[in-house]
Chains A and B, each alone.
Chain A
Amino acid sequence: MTALPLILTVFVACAVEATEALTIVLAAGLTREWRSTFQGMAVALVVLAVVTAVLGPALTLIPLSALRLVVGALLAIFGIQWLRKAILRATGHKSLHDEASAYLREVAAAKAAATQTRRGVRDWYAFTLSFKGVLLEGLEVVFIVLTFGANQRNVGAAAIGAAAAIVVVTVTGIAVRAPLARLPENAMKFAVGIMLTSFGLFWGTEGAGVSWPGHDAALLVLVPVTALVSLGYTTLLRPGRRPQAAPPGGAQAAAPSSKPSPSSKEVAS
């Protein structure tokens, strides 16, 4: 595989995570205090840098077949979870992840919280909110960069994709000073789920000792097949359904229809 598909896959996956982190950072910074928000963000970035510095070189020391087996399994599990959520959202069985309403919820919580100075941080709430948001979303970015990069023995290209995504999302966020609510987030998650699942299937199976027909070219079949199966499930689940419990703040509906959905198991997350 050349570096370009690797960079593009990592770019899209990381753009989704960066958008979610940006929403939290903006909510903390605009409603509470920027200095503490940046401190929380900086500490989270240091933790992520340490995790990357420790895990990155360690991963490249593992034999490729063992690495592909473990990482393939993880990517497949991860990818199916993304696909599952994206399909449930696209068919109205789960509320769409709406950055605008997520932002409003964070802002309401941030306004209600008391200001507390701790450990030299002026606003502990803004610090922890920003720290947790950046760390949790950042861990997913690190996971994607390291697994894709290590498997292709090209962590540098994966890091370029991730860095580009973070820069694009951050610059856009600074420019509009608002959550990036217009991004087709569910479609992006759907695409990322397809890529993660396909690469997970490919690498996991190779790690188990299989030789794919056509070798790397098998991915050119595996990706469309995964997409077709996912679209098939989306079509099967779509008719006669109505979106469930939209979160406050106006989450969009994906598949409006006349009948209510029987599902009440899935909630927005």
Chain B
Amino acid sequence: MKRLKAIGAFWYDFVVGDDWRVATVVVLALALTAVLVHAAGINAWWLLPVCVFAALGWSLRRATAGPKP
């Protein structure tokens, strides 16, 4: 069980990394892009880059924010 947990933790760290929110944003943005393309016929090439750059800024802000007084 311990070994399984360690393997799971390794793969989580390998794929997701330090901030799971960024990974979530990427997956959701891709899903939304697919919906816009296939269901609404919108060629939403801009959606993922916008979401990813915003997620990077958000993640950096969280990482550099000081402790609340």
Q: Is A28 an interface residue (CB 8 A)?
A: no
Q: Which residues of A contact B38 (CB under 8 A)?
A: 209
Q: Tell me whether B64 and A261 are in contact (CB under 8 A).
A: yes
Given contacts A204-B48, A209-B38, A264-B67, contact A80 B30 (CB under 8 A): no
A213 contacts B27, C-beta separation under 8 Å: no
Chain B residues in the interface with A (C-beta under 8 A):
14-19, 22-23, 26-27, 30, 33-34, 37-38, 43-45, 47-49, 52-53, 55-57, 59-60, 63-67
Q: Which residues of A contact B63 (CB under 8 A)?
A: 84, 88, 93-94, 263, 265-266
* Pair B64/A205 contact, Cβ less than 8 Å: no
Q: Is A85 engaged at the interface, CB distance under 8 Å to the other chain?
A: yes
Q: Is the CB of A77 within 8 A of B16?
A: yes
A242-269 with Cβ < 8 A to chain B: 261-266
Docked pose: A237 CA to B57 CA in angstroms: 10
10 pairs of A and B residues whose beta carbons are closest in the complex? A262-B66, A81-B17, A209-B37, A208-B34, A208-B33, A210-B45, A77-B23, A229-B53, A205-B48, A263-B64
In contact, A80 and B59 (Cβ under 8 angstroms): yes
> Is A181 among interface residues, defined by CB-CB distance under 8 A?
no
Cβ A263 vs Cβ B30 within 8 A: no
Contact of B33 among A84, A200, A205, A237 (CB under 8 A): A205
Contact B48–A211 (Cβ < 8 Å): no
Minimum C-beta distance from A137 to chain B (A): 11
Taking the nearest CB of chain B, how far is it from the CB of A39, in angstroms?
22
Given A77-B23, A204-B26, A209-B34: A93 and B64 interface contact (C-beta under 8 Å): yes
- B22, B30, B64, B67: the one contacting A81 at CB < 8 Å is B22
From known contacts A204-B30, A209-B38, A261-B64, infer whether A233 and B57 are also in contact, taking CB-CB under 8 Å: yes
With a CB–CB cut-off of 8 A, which chain B residues contact A264?
A: 67
A265 CA / B37 CA spacing, docked (Å): 39
Residue of A nearest to B34 (CB): A208
Contact A139 B14 (CB under 8 A): yes
**Do B45 and A211 have beta carbons less than 8 Å apart?**
yes
Which one of A8-16, A68-76, A160-168 is at the B interface?
Answer: A68-76
Chain B residues whose C-beta falls within 8 Å of the C-beta of A83 in the assembled complex: 56
Pairwise interchain contact A262-B48, C-beta atoms closer than 8 A: no
